[in-house]
Amino acid sequence: MSSRSSALVLLAPAFPALESETNWVPSQQVFVAAMRERYPDVRLIVLTFYYPNERKPYRWRGVDVIPFDGREHRRVRRWIFWRRIWKELNRIRSEYELHGLLSFWVGECAAVGHYFGIRYGIPHYSWICGQDARATNKWVRRIRPAAGELIAMSDFLVEEFARNHGIRPLRMIPNAIDPGVFPVASGGRRDIHLLAVGSLSRLKRYKIFIDAVAIIRPSLPSVRAVLCGEGEERQQLVELADQYRLGGHLTMTGELPHEEVLGLMQRTKIFLHPSEYEGFGIVCLEALYAGAHVISMCKPLKEDIPHWHVVANEEEMIRKVLSLLEQESLDDASVVRYTIKESVEEIMGLYAGRTGNSTPGW
């Protein structure tokens, strides 16, 4: 048996440069931190293609991170960029017992991981996280992944990927939360009626959130809403809120640390998620755990999740908001559908040739 340490390589487009950057792809952060805690004897190495904008390796919560700062290669001379990453993978393979590769999204990272895995007989899996299941993802044709190489984050993504690309992912391992990162609940009043959290981009459709506050206000003059996030649509959303004269009812906080967002969720009655396309938003799972009801337009799982209400359009979303707020005592029990510990164990089990919660034989 080799005396070299065991290693698992994670390939991602971006990863936090600092532990304080809690809003950078928080679902990945939670996953990597949980994997490090659950399997401390496995060397975790993250190869991040585009962010941070530097090339100096660093440590993140005990995990090795190797950035490549590929900005200059986004459109030209990509083969030079990939060769650098391939060379680093070979270095890792020579230094460690490399048991597997895991790519976030079926994209450029998955292409490198897929072909490196084939070349050296190393198991590689791609975790389908959301937009990569769309028909516009040209990387799928370049990679030609087998169904057994694909992990979907939700039932919705299994069906979406199969419909768009003719390949049905063999496994569904969901996004999940870490209850340990939540602040201790104060047990105070839920004084926020509506909350939304995310990047203020066109795809997230936060105009619907502001419309909802304006429509609800005549029926609930005391309505209080909070929108957390930054993005290219911020100015348009501010102007819309001004048109509706929502100054005393809507707070736009900008980007907040993750712990502060979780604290707001613990004060919230309804978490509104107006995006029409969503893989399995971790913010929704966090809101459920914090005791809020979630209303969204995308059903991630075939089964129903308590306190998660799925609607078809904006009008139905607003009707559901009103019906919930009309209840004298809205149930604010915490709902836990998946924990990150379970998801980590399922994925690590794949590399050991087993599934479920068995501890891999590293």
| Domain-wise residue ranges, the chain | 6-176+339-351, 179-325
* CB-based contact 289:335 (threshold 8 Å): yes
Q: Who's near 278: CB < 8 A, 6+ residues apart?
A: 130, 156, 284, 296, 298, 300
Report the alpha-carbon distance of residue 226 to residue 73 in Å, rounded: 39
Q: CATH assignment of 6-176+339-351?
A: 3.40.50.2000
pLDDT of residue 25: 78
Mean pLDDT, rounded, for 97-110? 96
Which pLDDT score, from 0 to 100, does residue 304 have? 93
Instruction: Give the total residue count for the chain.
Output: 362
Dihedral pair phi/psi, residue 138, rounded to 5°: -80, -15
Residue written as token pair 């009309």: 326
pLDDT of residue 72: 76
pLDDT confidence band for 97 (50 / 70 / 90): very high
Q: Quick one: tokens of 205?
A: 């459709």
Q: What angle do CA 157, 346, 151 make, to 5 degrees?
A: 25
Lowest mean pLDDT among 8-12, 25-29, 269-273: 25-29
pLDDT at 358: 45
What pLDDT, on the 0 to 100 scale, is given for residue 208?
A: 95
Give the pLDDT score at 279. 79
CB-based contact 250:225 (threshold 8 Å) = yes
Query: Which SS3 state, helix, strand or coil, does residue 227 take?
Result: strand
Residue 12: Cβ-neighbour burial (10 angstroms; 0-12, 13-18, 19+): buried
* pLDDT, tens digit, 9 for 90 and up, residues 132-158: 999 999 999 999 999 999 999 999 999
Asked whether residue 285 carries a pLDDT value surpassing 70, the answer given is: yes
> 6-176+339-351 with 179-325: one CATH topology?
yes
- Among 267-271, 293-297, 306-310, 324-328, the minimum mean pLDDT is found in 324-328
List the strands of the sheet with 192-197, edge to edge.
250-254, 225-228, 192-197, 268-273, 293-296, 308-310
3-state helix, strand, coil in the chain (%, to 5): 40, 20, 40
Please give the CATH architecture assigned to the domain spanning 179-325. Answer: 3-Layer(aba) Sandwich (3.40)
Q: Report pLDDT for 338.
A: 87
Mean pLDDT of 295-321: 94
Q: What is the mean pLDDT of residues 80-88?
A: 95
Q: For 50-75, write each residue's pLDDT tens digit.
A: 999 999 999 999 999 999 998 877 66
Average pLDDT over residues 324-330: 90
Give the model's confidence band at 18: pLDDT under 50 very low, under 70 low, under 90 confident, else very high: confident
pLDDT of 2 > 70? The answer is no
pTM of the model: 0.90
pLDDT for position 33: 94
Per DSSP, what are the bridge partners of residue 64? 45, 59
In the chain, the percentage of residues whose pLDDT exceeds 70 is 95
The mean predicted confidence, pLDDT, of the chain is 91
Does the pLDDT at position 355 exceed 50?
Answer: no
Whole-number Å distance between alpha carbons of 143 and 128: 14
Residue 123, pLDDT > 80, answer yes
Query: pLDDT tens-digit profile of 159-208?
Result: 999 999 999 999 999 989 999 888 877 667 899 999 999 999 988 999 99
User: Residue 245 pLDDT > 50, yes or no?
Assistant: yes
pLDDT at residue 361 is higher than 50:
no
